[in-house]
Amino acid sequence: MRNRFFRQTALPVLAALIWGTAFVAQSVATPYVPPFAFNAIRSLIAAAVLLPVARAFDRAAVRRGTPPTPSNRKHLWIGGICCGAFLAAAANLQQAAMADTTAGKAGFITALYMVLVPVVGVFLRKRTTLRTWISVLIAVGGLWLLCFKAGTNLALKTADAYLLLCALFFAGQIHCIDHFGTDVDGIRLSCVQFLTTGLISAVLSAIFETVVWGDVLRCAWPILYCALFSSCIAYTLQILSLKDAADPTIPSLLFSLESVFSVLAGAVILHDRLSAQEYLGCALMLAAVILAQLAPRKNKLHSP
């Protein structure tokens, strides 16, 4: 029980921290590397790194005398391909939108997946507690204060529409992991997910984009950071934290803390000053997360 609690609280927070700092790397690469090419490269690197990591964990388990439980191969491949397709759509829409919208609006609209996760769950006949719904609404209010400053243009542009679709696809990816991740190895599922995302993005890049490889090399460090940390580590932590989760809405609330971490990282690293409104937004986000964690554990997510 203690390991499960750690997996469903500490791991999502760590993933959110990595995603929050990776937002800077994505922004740096946006003017130089087209969206499909960027996600193809980072995803294929992630898949290539995760495969030997999975094998190394298997060998270590055998040496300890505890052979790993075999994965359901059918669920591994079907789940990995489905998760990868959702992630390809979400990641490419997000990367395309970042060139034509503010960071605040991008962070706010993308994080709306935490609202869409329980909404999509209703159509999948999955229950979410009233307290969790309240937590989601409080978190939305916190995000609004955190991301929108006085004078922000709230008109919905094409880039913002992309981000709304991005949030919907991220919600689908979370539900896909929740469905397929129970009887498969998390690292291998992540590997298949990124292989799928990388191949889809590579095909789309070959059809629609012109890639200047000199610009790709110029952005080598941001791409590697996103590949190794945001993709390899954070998305694998996402899969591990959703394994056996009673309600995927609660981890999704923790994942949405990436917006808080991106603002705090700017304050610490770039010495940006936080306004009273931003501090209040951070406080509401944290309050929402704490409230969700206090939700009764007996009301588990289930299908009739």
| pLDDT of amino acid 156 | 61
230 in any annotated domain: yes
14 in any annotated domain: yes
Q: What tens digit of pLDDT does each residue of 142-161 get?
A: 777 766 666 666 566 777 78
In the numeric block, which tokens belong to residue 14? 């760590």
| pLDDT of amino acid 302 | 37
**If you average pLDDT over every residue of the chain, what do you get?**
81
222 in any annotated domain: yes
| pLDDT of amino acid 43 | 96
Q: What tens digit of pLDDT does each residue of 209-239 get?
A: 999 999 999 999 999 999 999 999 999 999 8
- Residues spanned by the domain of 6: 2-64+72-293
303 in any annotated domain: no
Domain count, the chain: 1
Whole-angstrom distance, CA of residue 19 vs CA of residue 219: 18
CB 171 within 8 A of CB 113: yes
Distance of CA 153 to the CA centre of its chain: 26
Average pLDDT over residues 284-288: 78
| pLDDT of amino acid 297 | 47
192 in any annotated domain: yes
Q: Which is more confidently placed, 102 or 162? A: 162
187 in any annotated domain: yes
CB 255 within 8 A of CB 137: no
3-class secondary-structure state, position 151: coil
Q: Which is more confidently placed, 153 or 242? A: 242
Q: Give the lowest-confidence range in 106-110, 165-169, 253-257.
A: 106-110
243 in any annotated domain: yes
Q: What tens digit of pLDDT does each residue of 39-60 get?
A: 999 999 999 999 999 888 888 7
Whole-angstrom distance, CA of residue 278 vs CA of residue 287: 14
- Residue 196, pLDDT above cutoff 90: yes
Q: Which is more confidently placed, 223 or 273? A: 223
The DSSP result for 39-108, as a single string, is HHHHHHHHHHHHHHHHHHHHHHHHHTT-PPPPP-HHHHHHHHHHHHHHHHHHHHHHHHHTTSS-HHHHHH
CB 126 within 8 A of CB 245: no
298 in any annotated domain: no
